[in-house]
Structure 1
Amino acid sequence: MSSDRSDEHGANDHAEADAVPSIDDGRYLYCLVRVDESDEPTLETTGVDGEPVSVVTEDGIGAVVHACEEIYDSDDLAQIRRWLVRHQTVVDEAGEAFGTPVPFQFDTILQSDDEGVREWIRSESDTLEQVLSGLADHWEYRIEVVETEPISDEALIDHDERLRELDEQMSGSEDGTAFLLEKQFDQRLTEVRANRRESITADLQTRLDEHAREVHALERKAGASISDDIAGAGETDDGETLCRLTVLAHETDESSIGSVLDDVAAHDGLEVRFTGPWPPYTFAPELGGGEDATNARSQP
């Protein structure tokens, strides 16, 4: 199986094309789910490029797949994004139908038919059972704290002794000295704002830890990945993002997490954006690295 993608172009394009194998009868993998085989589970949706999706089952584990004969690669970024969004949509719909899914990365392909998928599930059954059981009824939630009304310099000066000292010194200094003091003041002001962001983040993480299994801090500005798109951009038109967090929690703890966030949102000038539940994109382990795995790009 493979989830590798390359963004390199130019001289590497021909070499990469030569390394991409043909796939006679492969299966594109979206996610794994827990199923009741007696019900012959199905998923009424279409996958990447409109392909029909099926659920291949073995011993209570279902792999959501579609049949494919090639990997999904393009120089058209808009096309790649459409594929990525469709991949995520299928995983989301599988979660609604069967419970918490374990997602595969985009472009993960097993170079085999349905029976090959069943054989892989059997060979990895111990690991897959552990992963599915561990994530059962757990979902990912994304949190973004945005400062819609930035705290004023005056308020920060009132709460920081060093800023007050520098402010007083500047008012009674000659131009040359005042210039140097102003640089120190601006540097200290930047530090105080950063410390405030870190304090808000740390306090929120500590409170969320009481209700979540895992809490991870993300970059304040979202990247280009689909999972980061869940939370939106880090810099918004109506404020500055103070922190972004991703949380893995049991579905019964969603209301408790919401209560913590309500307390944060009660502070003047702060807005909390809370999305989910989502499949555990951030917390699911990467699957398909064993001897039975094949790389759709480099397998000879």
Structure 2
Amino acid sequence: MNSSEEALYGNRNAAYDQAAKKVLSQKKILAFILKRMVEEFQDESVQDIMTKYIEGTPLISQVPVHPDETNQEIERIHGNNTEDGSISEGMVRYDILFQALVPKTKEPLMLIINIEAQGQAKPGYSILKRATYYASRMVSSQRGRDFYGDDYDRIKKVYTIWICMNAPKDTGNSINRYRMMEERLHGKYHAEQWQYNILNVVMLYLGNRKTQDDLIEMLRIIFKEKAPALVKKQQLEEAYGIRLTEDETKELSKMCNLSEGLYNNGFNDGTYGRTKTDLRNLIESTGWSLAKAMEMLRIPPEEKEHLEKELKKKH
């Protein structure tokens, strides 16, 4: 893939890409990401991050990365956005862009979250360098919008968070953070962190296996779990206290419906493919009993006995 506007997972279409971004941009999900990956929020509750500190409506695929295109669009981050994100030929855009207030100081942070689909460590370029470029653009674009002339003290701290959805096995289920650090070469002087700790890059490599890290596991359920939207909705509520609204559930369902290759039969009028493979995948991934898995998959009573016998056979 050559740009962030290409569909997720190689040949997946742009509709799936957009649906995935909409799911990820929900404040309930963003709050978990901020608490785990942004140091300013680590001592705050998810509820407070969601309701008190994330400002406005996150912009999805609307703000260009390149110079001379960014400032005119980014000003809209303070208002409500009702347009669907669009994919422009030849133009690279930030996937999700939003602003949050630092709890202690109420200073604003600029945050970028990008969904990266690469399944290889080096897809023709360094993803880490690309992430650094995105963060640098968010810093330089503040001139003439957030500060003027030589008033550099008003520069906002920037985080660019990359969620690599299809990470290689040796990097899966890892989180790395990169930021500017002071190295004292001589003398006793130390600068205050606010003067130089401006640019931060966080890389999350999502694997296929279960993990004890709450954030990675939550994202694995959303994007990698072999289960329908209604099952994922229940898992999110039971494990993380995330209660999706009807509209939010529809976005999750849309993403699952558009996904290719995850399910044998997919959805049909809101129901899930009724196969023994589906049941095995669901039981293995959730730890649910066969009875509960059948209930969640809406399997008719007349099919339950047959499937139970099939599952007891060696495979």
Shared fold (TM-score, shorter chain, > 0.5): no
State TM-score, norm by structure 2: 0.26
Which structure's relative contact order is higher, taking Cα pairs within 8 Å and 6+ residues apart? 1
**What TM-score does the superposition give when structure 1 sets the normalisation length?**
0.27
Structure 1 or 2: more strand by fraction: 1
